[in-house]
Amino acid sequence: MNKVGIVGVGFMGMVHYLTYQKLSGTQVVAICDSNRDRLAGDWTGIQGNFGPPGQQMDLSDIAVYESSEELIADPNVDLVDITLPPAMHVDVAIQALRAGKHVFCEKPMAMTVGDCDQMLAAAKEFKRQLLIGHVLPFYPEYDWALQEIRSGKHGRLLGGSFKRIISDPAWLTNFWNADAVGGPMLDLHIHDAHFIRLLFGMPTGVTTRGSQRSGLAEHWHSLFEFADSNLHVHATSGVIDQQGRPFLHGFEIQLEKATLVFEFAVMESNTGEQQGRYLCKPTLFDAAGHAQYPSLGDGDPMHAFSAELEHVSQVLQGNMEAGALACELARDAIEICQLQTDNLLSQ
């Protein structure tokens, strides 16, 4: 039985908590937050862009703490799940690893490559698992793409184009603070940087052009270079000022014998409601000239978190490798984002 302590009860902390309730072999035994109402179970004020709304929770069987130090010291906790703001990840993760706890930390791993390296060193020194919550590879469209690519039946991977754009999230505190959140590069594009690293390896160079705000990348295009000069990889990401389309993501991935495409967006309907829909449903264009449409389920994002946290459980039990949750991949994603930022701001 994996006994979990969640540090930080915001939207993502709630998503993790609800997901753990559905997993066998895992039990949330402790929660930490500085908000006493949330420690009392009042999660009604928690909101997100998917999943159920916050509600009153029965935490009578769960230890509650106001500080991460108290939770980490709890002998019943063997996995510390960190869902704090990114700037706080490094300190809490290292404290937990030093205390002999395994760590599952939400993305981005940290704010800088240096902080990531400190976390990696602590995991190695104290011989504990450090897993990073990059959930994108567990989303059905991205999981489908990974399976098709890794099957080998479509030949060699040639390249891809990736897109992830949101309307300006003015409601998010510190979104444009370079030291706290890091803007759209570390909060948004980090997903695709990680997926690009997972598919193609580490880029050897990047050219990025676009706009900037408050010393951060705002909206941009990046062209990546790799040791294999035949690979062609491009990404578009950032924010737009118009609020009518709050979210869009997608890809077009080229292989020798197939092309994989999909695009999904949340857009304002004629009635003013926000509705999610495929602009291009997941499609495989095969070598015979046909289009194939895989069946990927109902698209509920909560399923991706269930798959992700089940993977965490299996890693801790020694049944699986870290795979997409490996801290080394997450560290490299931060480096990729830093390369893009440096290249853009140097222009």
- pLDDT at position 126 is 98
pLDDT of the residue at 302: 85
| Nearest in space to 251 (alpha carbons), one of 137, 160, 152 | 160
Residues 51 and 177 in one domain: no
End-to-end CA distance of the chain: 52
Q: Do 66 and 151 belong to one domain?
A: no
Specify the CATH number for the domain of residue 50: 3.40.50.720
- The candidate with the shortest Cα–Cα distance to 184, out of 216, 215, 209, is 216
**Maximum pairwise Cα distance, the chain:** 61
The reply to whether 121 and 199 lie within a common domain is no
Query: Residue 248 sits in a domain of what CATH number?
Result: 3.30.360.10
Total Cβ atoms within 10 A of residue 71:
27
Q: Mark whether 174 and 161 lie in a shared domain.
A: yes
Matching residue, tokens 């993790």: 16
Judge if 166 and 52 occupy the same domain: no
Q: pTM for the complete prediction?
A: 0.96
Domain co-membership, 292 together with 315? no
Same domain, 18 and 126: yes
> What's the CA dihedral at 59, 62, 68, 72 to 10 degrees?
-170
From residue 103, alpha-carbon distances to 6, 134, 303, 311 in Å are 10, 14, 22, 14
Q: Which residue has the tokens 């490798």?
A: 321
With a CB cutoff of 8 Å and minimum separation 6, the contacts of 311 are 138, 320, 323, 324, 325
| Same domain, yes or no: 242 and 186 | yes
Instruction: Please report the DSSP string for 252-263 in residue order.
Output: EEEESSEEEEEE
Same domain (yes/no): 100, 44: yes
Is there a single domain that holds both residue 280 and residue 182? yes
Do 144 and 215 fall within a single domain?
yes
331 exposure class (CB count in 10 Å sphere: 0-12, 13-18, 19+):
buried
User: What pLDDT is recorded for position 53?
Assistant: 81
Per-residue pLDDT of the chain (347 residues; tens, 9 = 90+): 899 999 999 999 999 999 999 999 899 999 999 999 999 999 998 876 667 788 899 999 999 999 999 999 999 999 999 999 999 999 999 999 999 999 999 999 999 999 999 999 999 999 999 999 999 999 999 999 999 999 999 999 999 999 999 999 887 888 999 998 999 999 999 999 999 999 999 999 999 999 999 999 999 999 999 999 999 999 999 999 999 899 999 999 999 999 999 999 998 888 878 888 999 999 999 999 999 999 998 877 889 999 999 999 999 999 999 999 999 999 999 999 999 999 999 98
Pairing of strands 26-32, 2-7: parallel
Tokens 């880029």 map to which residue?
Answer: 203
Which residue segment(s) compose the domain that 230 sits in? 137-299+332-345
Say whether both 284 and 186 belong to one domain: yes
Q: What domain count does the chain have?
A: 2
Number of alpha helices (DSSP H) and beta strands (DSSP E) in the chain: 10, 14
Which uninterrupted H or E stretch holds 236?
A: strand 232-240
